[in-house]
Structure 1
Amino acid sequence: MTILTLARRKAAALLSSPPSQNPFINNSKVAYYVSSRNMTSDSSENDVIVIGGGPGGYVAAIKAAQMGLKTTCIEKRGSLGGTCLNVGCIPSKALLHSSHMYHEAKHSFASHGVKFSNVEIDLPAMMAQKDKAVSGLTKGIEGLLKKNKVNYVKGWGKFLSPSEVSVDTIDGGNTVVKGKNIIVATGSDVKSLPGITIDEKRIVSSTGALALSEIPKKLIVIGAGYIGLEMGSVWCRLGSEVTVVEFAPDIVPTMDSEVRKQFQRSLEKQKMKFKLKTKVVSVDSSGDSVKLTLEPAEGGEQFILEADVVLVSAGRIPFTEGLQLEKIGVETDKGGRILVNERFATNVPGVYAIGDVIPGPMLAHKAEEDGVACVEYLAGKEGHVDYDMVPGVVYTHPEVAYVGKTEEQVKALGVAYRVGKFPFLANSRAKAIDDAEGIVKILAEKETDKILGVHIMAPNAGELIHEAAIALQYGASSEDIARTCHAHPTMSEAVKEAAMATYDKAIHI
């Protein structure tokens, strides 16, 4: 069955169902401009209230307004964009780019004929550039809400009932916002570890790691996931001695194992150190340095590592604090995630949830898709999100991006498959710019040649992966990509060659 046919059938079923069964979901934090410091109430009822102004929430609010629904967005931070824009995706990418520029200037420019006597780091200027990017984008989102006539309330929202949200506004007042449908899009928070107190100075979360006032001589990163590796990469490039401590036997467990091994070797060449299968027993910050007591994950002799700064990056948890979900009876799982159906509806009629507060990948782009689909369902249309087709990207250098199944997952499914690979060492554009570390790996079903997964390690893998994402979404074969003309010379030719290697043979290797 094609995607289009499936969508038509779902739409027909949805349009024949009663309005009460058309769920609407949004993953942002709602906020209003309220001048009064006393209790007020908005007597006019909204079609949609979104609690949370992050990627899921503000996107859902804008989409709802575009569909003619009266919409209010409530955001406690007073700055739109959520964790992603304010203290996550955007500032980290700014620092990743700035630190990469410094690293290139120091280590690579001379080989390209660009020489100068000295290269210095101006950390305050680097941080100012990051802050400027964040400020400009948050203001841009606020402008989009205004353009689309979304009512924006700045404050902390909590449920009074399934149709009422009390907002403690950031100016000290309180207002009650009423709505037919309420979408919880409050995102996620840093996962803490027992016995470790984050002070955002010497023991930091990703938030603190984005705002260090000086470059630490030694940095220990607890956790070898996306965030830990990216932030470790930033400070490693700037001169820190970085050690990554991970309880699991591998870095980034969602990554294809073959690509993961190449990726780890690449990071080790950049002088990042790894202590895998290692447990953090305790952290002592009482002295001049922070001391971590560690031991093998399976038990054994303890040892101590010292650092100037420790980054706790052990994952994230749904953020639902203060929402009073229990007051209206919203069900959650053991991990605190809000349980929803395929249309993002909770067990409480009129209440929905999207993004990081529900099961699924904790990624900004997944939250955005949730927000759009939820609102489309709410408006009586057909929404669509396929969590198996959500791409993942680690924004180090080289980047690693992937979509679909890993080879391990395909094997576990018992599917007969083919593998095609192509190294960037054989890609003319990569060789021309002297940045040829990496590989493209494609997995396809043996009988039908349907693509099952694509994994890319390359300088701009995060951009290259979307050709694969579209291919998987439309059920393409590796031959479909191989027979599509790609411009020369480009990095994307490596994807074409890997596709050729999957169904037949590559040309340039």
Structure 2
Amino acid sequence: MADQQTYDVVIIGGGPGGYNAAIRAGQLGLKAACVEMRGTLGGTCLNVGCMPSKALLHASELYEAAGGEFAKIGIEVAPSLNLSQMMAAKAESVGALTKGIEFLFKKNKVDWVRGRGRIAGPGKVVVETPEGQTELSTRNIVIATGSEPTPLPGVEFVEGKVVDSTGALDLQAVPKTLAVVGAGIIGLELGSVWRRLGAQVTVIEFLDRITPGMDAEVAKTFQRSLTKQGMTFKLGTKVTAAKADKDGVTLTLEPAKGEGAAETLQADVVLVAIGRRPYTAGLGLETVGVTPDQRGFIANDHFKTSAEGVWVIGDVTYGPMLAHKAEEDAVACIELIAGKAGHVDYDLVPSVVYTAPEVAWVGKTEEELKAAGVEYRVGKFPFVANSRAKINHETDGFVKFLADAKTDRVLGVHVMGPQAGEMIGEACVLMAFSGASEDLARICHPHPTRSEALRQAAMGVEGWTMQA
């Protein structure tokens, strides 16, 4: 074993939670090390998640536009798909981002310890490296090991045929038919990529709706849009078996409620996207007396686990399993370790589906407000009435504001439309300062922009929408 090295904080995991925790620790003058078992930093998000999927979403959207929308606006082209070059461009972008994190580590004097880390008792982390074992001694351990795709019982992964999200980002050819198991964000984004590139996509969902957690009205409108684009949906349906052979995969489907006959569905490729689960395999939690719950999550009290000096952030603990949530956890956790105040408002963590149109939301849905007995008012505005969206032929969707009926405080904002993921940040700022719908309604927005739809929807809460 190599000589023991001593740190103020050792972070296990180099994803959005881990690398941001390391950078913030360096900024605050803490001696920090980040242990990452991949050959690159960035975790699932940068390597096989958020970033490569967005690269393919962007490229496939341009490809589809070149084959259809371009002609409508007077640009005559005949696009052909070079999938290997598309994948190479994706890899180049990902590589640049991971190298960027290495630079930030050096800038902030953070040590990257390459290898698989495990806790070996209070204040000790052992790292298995290609050269052998290294032991790190530390006053604080931050668990930031993230999550992994949840497998589907009875369905085994088969390379190139039955794949998880990682496999779906690296298919070597466009399948003629693609079955997506799970109508959540990951399944719909990756399903959109391959549909645009030529696949016939069928989405199978256990629930009787898509995108659980999304406002129901928005989800219904979103599903209609995806159906119009060519996706097929089988809701209220469960997959009970999958058989792969040289011709593809045969899925056995049954009604989710158990009533009705089974059926089969043939597909060239099946993407299993039913969610993610915390990654704690081989982490040595038992050496410090930490026990995950039945779902694998590690409990925390202001990021502190039950073990002294052991902290937890990101997907491996409670809250939305999102990269930006992990980043917020990271900053708050490290600031607490450094003796500062640290806090995350989980009610103001936005969600985004990066399809076309995009869907983004923050705060409460109508269903949540009704269940809580909260009196509220609604303001809505369609993108078909937004001048910029109209000019750009991006009129699918709308903005919805939900505000307290008595105080006008904004409780939730939901956007389905072009660049929704960029616009939702305005709503986050408004709600973080306990803003009212009138506050936004009376702020001048540039014209013509898509963001004017936000303002018009805010006006609608008090009934004075002017453009529709």
TM, length-normalised to structure 1: 0.91
SS of the equivalent of 1:40 reads coil
Partner of 1:395: 354
SS of the equivalent of 2:198 reads coil
- Alpha-carbon offset, residue 434 of structure 1: 1.3
Partner of 2:296: 336
- Alpha-carbon offset, residue 77 of structure 1: 0.7
**Which residue identity is paired with 2:120?**
L
Query: What fraction of aligned residue pairs are identical, expressed as a percent?
Result: 57
Are the counterparts in 1 of residues 127 and 133 from structure 2 also a CA contact under 8 Å? yes
Q: Greater shift after overlay, 211-220 or 197-206?
A: 197-206
SS of the equivalent of 2:67 reads helix
Matched, 1:215 2:177: no
Matched, 1:127 2:127: no
Task: Map 1:190-269 to 2 at 5 A.
Answer: 190-269=149-228
Q: Deviations over 1:331-350 (max 9, x none)?
A: 32111101110x20000000
Partner of 1:58: 19
Partner of 1:488: 447
List structure 1 runs of 4+ shifted beyond 4 angstroms: none
Matched, 1:78 2:60: no
**Which residue identity is paired with 1:65?**
G
Matched, 1:305 2:258: no
Partner of 2:3: 41
Q: What stretches of structure 2 of length at least 5 have no aligned partner? A: none
Partner of 1:322: 282
**Which residue identity is paired with 1:166?**
V
Q: Which of 367, 373, 377 pairs up with 1:414?
A: 373
Q: Which of 392, 400, 422 pairs up with 1:441?
A: 400
Cα separation, 1, equivalents of 2:211 and 2:232: 15
Partner of 1:507: 466
The structure showing larger relative contact order (alpha-carbon pairs under 8 Å, at least 6 residues apart) is 1
Q: What stretches of structure 1 of length at least 5 have no aligned partner? A: 1-38
Q: Deviations over 1:4-31 (max 9, x none)?
A: xxxxxxxxxxxxxxxxxxxxxxxxxxxx
Are the counterparts in 2 of residues 206 and 313 from structure 1 also a CA contact under 8 Å? yes
Partner of 2:104: 144
Are the counterparts in 1 of residues 203 and 232 from structure 2 also a CA contact under 8 Å? yes
- Alpha-carbon offset, residue 504 of structure 1: 3.0
Are the counterparts in 1 of residues 122 and 287 from structure 2 also a CA contact under 8 Å? no
Partner of 1:3: none
- Alpha-carbon offset, residue 287 of structure 1: 4.4
Cα separation, 1, equivalents of 2:168 and 2:415: 27
- Alpha-carbon offset, residue 41 of structure 1: 2.8
Matched, 1:271 2:254: no
- Alpha-carbon offset, residue 139 of structure 1: 0.6
Tell me the C-alpha RMSD between the 2 structures: 0.8
Cα separation, 2, equivalents of 1:210 and 1:390: 26
Cα separation, 2, equivalents of 1:129 and 1:162: 44
- Alpha-carbon offset, residue 286 of structure 1: 3.0
Task: Map 1:81-96 to 2 at 5 A.
Answer: 81-96=42-57
Are the counterparts in 1 of residues 158 and 244 from structure 2 also a CA contact under 8 Å? no
Cα separation, 2, equivalents of 1:409 and 1:322: 38
Cα separation, 2, equivalents of 1:264 and 1:467: 25
Cα separation, 1, equivalents of 2:340 and 2:287: 31
SS of the equivalent of 1:63 reads helix
Matched, 1:372 2:331: yes
TM, length-normalised to structure 2: 0.99
- Alpha-carbon offset, residue 200 of structure 1: 3.1
Matched, 1:167 2:122: no
Q: Deviations over 1:134-164 (max 9, x none)?
A: 0000011011001110011000001111200
Cα separation, 2, equivalents of 1:123 and 1:418: 48
